[in-house]
């Protein structure tokens, strides 16, 4: 038997973080996605133990200032794309500048310097990942997905999808449908 699951990455991450901090008896306050304020000074051993526990879930404690800002850029983009409550009617560059308090030029150069890719490429990857999830889980049409992800047209979405994944979104949909049919036959 196969279970099809729908889940919220943000909620899962927040729950894992909350549970791990509670396990280590760390007094804290979650500020936002990817940010936690420690309400007490932690001894280095406890901080290392916490860091080790978080790394089991592929959550890393970021210490370098440039890396912290790059992580904030990533978190802001992921929140902007995946969080249905975040409605962005402005350009991404303006949104990032306003949210993070730096010029877009500075953010863009820093992001490229640290990650060796552009903010634009990171946004495309996140949008395509969400498009795949929407195709798999919610059976949205490509028109609905293009609209939801702020693409100017289905053709634009299809081009970026194919450039990123190697197949068109229509082919991806067909693969998912075939896979479901095969799994239903096996039951």
What are the tens digits of pLDDT across the range 81-114? 887 665 556 688 999 999 999 999 999 999 999 8
Are residues 80 and 97 in contact, defined by beta-carbon separation less than 8 angstroms? no
Residue 44 lies inside a defined structural domain of this protein: yes
Same domain, 90 and 136: no
Q: Within a 10 A sphere around the Cβ of 76, how many other Cβ atoms?
A: 20
Range 59-76 average pLDDT? 84
Q: Within a 10 A sphere around the Cβ of 113, how many other Cβ atoms?
A: 10
Tokens 């979650």 map to which residue?
Answer: 30
CATH code for the domain of 171: 1.10.10.60
Instruction: Give phi and psi for 38, each to the nearest 5.
Output: -85, 125
Residue 1 lies inside a defined structural domain of this protein: no
Residue 13 lies inside a defined structural domain of this protein: yes
Q: How much is the mean pLDDT over the chain?
A: 86
Same domain, 110 and 134: no
- Looking at per-residue pLDDT, the higher value among 88 and 182 belongs to 182
**Distance of CA 115 to CAs 18, 24, 91, 107, 127, Å?**
28, 31, 22, 12, 18
Same domain, 35 and 68: no
Q: What's the pTM value of the predicted model, to 2 decimals? A: 0.68
Q: Which residues fall within 8 angstroms of residue 76, CB to CB, at 6 or more apart?
A: 95, 96, 99, 100
Domain hosting residue 112, numbered range: 62-116
Same domain, 138 and 181: yes
CA dist 165 and 80 (Å) reads: 22
**Structure confidence at residue 48 (pLDDT):** 87
Residue 3 lies inside a defined structural domain of this protein: no
Question: Angle at the Cα of 29 (from 27 to 32), degrees rounded to 5?
Answer: 150
Domain count, the chain: 3
Same domain, 128 and 82: no
**Structure confidence at residue 105 (pLDDT):** 93
Q: Within a 10 A sphere around the Cβ of 75, how many other Cβ atoms?
A: 17
Same domain, 55 and 72: no
Residue 2 lies inside a defined structural domain of this protein: no
Return the percentage of the chain with pLDDT > 90, whole number.
30
Residue 25 lies inside a defined structural domain of this protein: yes
């Amino acid at each position: 038997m196969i279970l099809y699951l729908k889940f919220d990455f943000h909620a899962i991450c927040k729950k894992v973080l909350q549970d791990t901090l509670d396990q280590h008896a760390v007094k804290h306050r979650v500020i936002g996605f990817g940010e936690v304020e420690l309400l007490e000074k932690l001894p280095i051993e406890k901080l290392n133990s916490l860091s080790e526990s978080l790394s089991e879930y592929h959550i890393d404690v970021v210490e370098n200032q440039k890396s912290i800002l790059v992580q904030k850029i990533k978190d802001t983009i992921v929140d902007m794309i995946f969080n249905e409550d975040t409605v962005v009617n402005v350009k991404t560059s303006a949104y990032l500048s306003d949210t993070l308090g730096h010029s877009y030029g500075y953010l863009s150069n820093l992001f490229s310097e640290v990650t060796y890719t552009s903010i634009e490429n990171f946004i495309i990857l996140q949008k395509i990942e969400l498009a795949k999830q929407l195709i798999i889980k919610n059976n949205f049409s490509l028109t609905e997905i293009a609209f939801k992800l702020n693409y100017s047209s289905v053709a634009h979405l299809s081009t970026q999808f194919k450039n990123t994944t190697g197949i068109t979104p229509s082919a991806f949909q067909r693969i998912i449908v075939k896979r479901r049919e095969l799994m239903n036959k096996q039951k």
